[in-house]
Every structure is written in C-alpha cells, then in structure tokens.
Amino acid sequence: MIHSKEYKLTQAVSHVVCAVAALCAVLPFVLLIIASLTDSGVVLKNGFSFFPEKWSTEAYQYIIQEWQTIGHAYLMTIVVTAVGTAAHVTISMLFAYGISKKNIPGMKFVSFLLIFSMLFNGGLVSTYYCYVRYLGIKNTIWALIMPNMLMNAVSVILIRNYVMYTIPSSLMEAAQIDGAGPMKVLTRVVLPLSKPILATIGLMAGLAYWNDWMNGMYYLTSRGGSDLYTIQIVLNNINNDVNALVQSKDLMQQLGTSGSLPSTTIRMAIAVIGILPILVLYPFFQKYFVKGITLGGVKE
C-alpha cells in the first residue's frame, strides 16, 4: 500500500509527539533511581543529575539496617492495599449493578444521591468526627482502609455505564428466563464480562491505597498507631523530620560512619522501593485499564 506524503508526515509527527510524551513520563523515574544511588555529598553539592560524579549505595544500606521498621511498613502497605482494593471494587460493583436497573423503583433517586455526594460533602471536620466518634477507627487498621473503602462516585458511575451500555441486556434477560436470580445473573453473566472495568477500578483504587498517607496523618498517632504506619507514611515522616534522622546518634552507629546521614538519598531510595510493585504490575493491567476507561466513560 502506497501512502501519501500527508499520511507519512502525520505518522512521523505522531511518533515524535508520543516519543516526547514517553520520555517525559519515564525520565523522572530514571532520575529517581539514579538519585537514590548517588553519593549524598554530591547531591548536596551539585543537586540531582543523570550523570553523577560519585555513586553510592549508602541509602540502601540504611534501608537494610532499618528494615525492621521499613519492612513492617511495606507489609502494612501490601495488606491495606489488597484488602482495601478488594472491598472498594466489591462495594462499587454491587452499588453500580443495583442502579443500572432502570426498572427498579427508586433507583433514579439513589443515582441522584450518588451524584450529589460526588459534588458536595460534609467536609473534613465532620468526616473526622464521624469516623473517630461513631466508628472508632482511630489508631486501628481500619483508619487506613475504611475512608477509601466506602464507594467512590466516579468508580460507581464508570461501572454502571459499562454494565448498562456494554453488556447486552439480552444476555441478562436470557439468564433470567433460565431461572437465574439477580445474584446469579451478577456472578455468572455480569462479572465475567466486566473484567476490563473491574481491573480499571481496581488499579485506580490500588494506586490510591498504595500512595495514601493522609489517612495515617489524620487517624494514626505516633503513640498509639505507629505499628500501623505504611511505607508512604514512613516516607512522609522522613520528609518532615529529616533533621531528627541526621542528628540520631544511634542511626549513625548502626551505619558505622562518622559522616552525615544520607537523608536526601534515603528519601529517594524509599520512594524507589515504594513504586516498584506499581511499576511491575501496571503493564499487566494496562490493556484492561485503557479499555475500561474508554467503555466505562462513554454513554450512548
């Protein structure tokens, strides 16, 4: 097939734009990894660079020395992300499946409440008071799970649109004629055909749980909830209290050095450890993510 000059030019420009966009997305991660392997003195003197004057693994040595704390936070992050994501997807799917049924009385009003809650909320003070006073989640693992577990309006809308406009209603009607009840239709027909949107919602919820540190700041105290710190909370504490780490004599003795603690590169190294699972898992979810967003966000 012979292509015109305009087509070739369009393809060339498209490839250049995509290449530039890809570099803009990848280069920060490359710089992050290089910065974590750069000598702290060089970083303080010259700043971050793709070609550092001196390499060092001192930041990762610190992580190994403090793995009891950091490893525990890493484990807590995995548990919170797994449990929270599963709960979030389950609640969102059940809610979306219910409001997708136009023939059920009251579903329009429930949908209105969903949209209203997306646009307006009670604010941080009232939310904090309800969670702490009535649900008692302060200094418990539920403080890291429950605030994000309760259904998200955007997730519900995406799943509802997918169920309503992508899954043929004739399939659900045929299952009902064969004697299947609502739950059987959901588990046997809707769920198997909803893998793209569920993977999309699961990925977004998983990223939110993995990167969350604000709930820990709100609901966990250093006196009663430090054992529940996730890796992002630990990283945030290091960012906010670098001077305390630098002045800690115990840490210096553990490192066996007389110099200063590599506080800047430690933050980079912990960030690298924190994003590794996301970088590993994202390629497997990418095709579902793109398809789910496309189909779930379109309304006929």
- Residue 236: per-residue pLDDT: 75
255: tokens are 């490192």
Residue 60 is assigned to a structural domain of this protein: no
217 C-beta neighbours (distance < 10 Å), count: 13
Mean pLDDT, residues 176-198: 86
In this structure, what CATH number is given to the domain that contains residue 270? 1.10.3720.10
- Residue 176: per-residue pLDDT: 83
The pLDDT confidence band at residue 300, using thresholds 50, 70 and 90, is very low
For residues 189 and 168, is the Cβ–Cβ distance under 8 A?
no
How many domains would you assign to the chain? 1
Residue 210 is assigned to a structural domain of this protein: yes
For residues 217 and 236, is the Cβ–Cβ distance under 8 A?
yes
Mean pLDDT, all residues of the chain: 80
Lowest mean pLDDT among 97-101, 114-118, 127-131: 114-118
Per the structure, the complete domain to which residue 292 belongs is given by 68-296
Residue 46 is assigned to a structural domain of this protein: no
- Residue 241: per-residue pLDDT: 59
Asked whether the predicted pLDDT for residue 258 surpasses 50, the reply is: no
**How many angstroms separate the most distant Cα atoms in the chain?**
78
- Residue 257: per-residue pLDDT: 46
pLDDT in tens, 188-210: 888 888 888 888 888 888 888 98
Residue 31 is assigned to a structural domain of this protein: no
51 C-beta neighbours (distance < 10 Å), count: 6
pLDDT in tens, 2-54: 667 788 888 889 999 999 998 998 898 898 899 888 888 888 788 888 888 88
Cut 0.85: pTM above it: no
- Residue 79: per-residue pLDDT: 92
Residue 84 is assigned to a structural domain of this protein: yes
Q: How far apart are CA 23 and CA 18, in angstroms?
A: 9
Asked whether the predicted pLDDT for residue 249 surpasses 60, the reply is: no
The pLDDT confidence band at residue 252, using thresholds 50, 70 and 90, is very low
**Phi first, then psi: what are they for 38, rounded to 5°?**
-95, 145
Residue 37 is assigned to a structural domain of this protein: no
Residue 106 is assigned to a structural domain of this protein: yes
Residue 42 is assigned to a structural domain of this protein: no
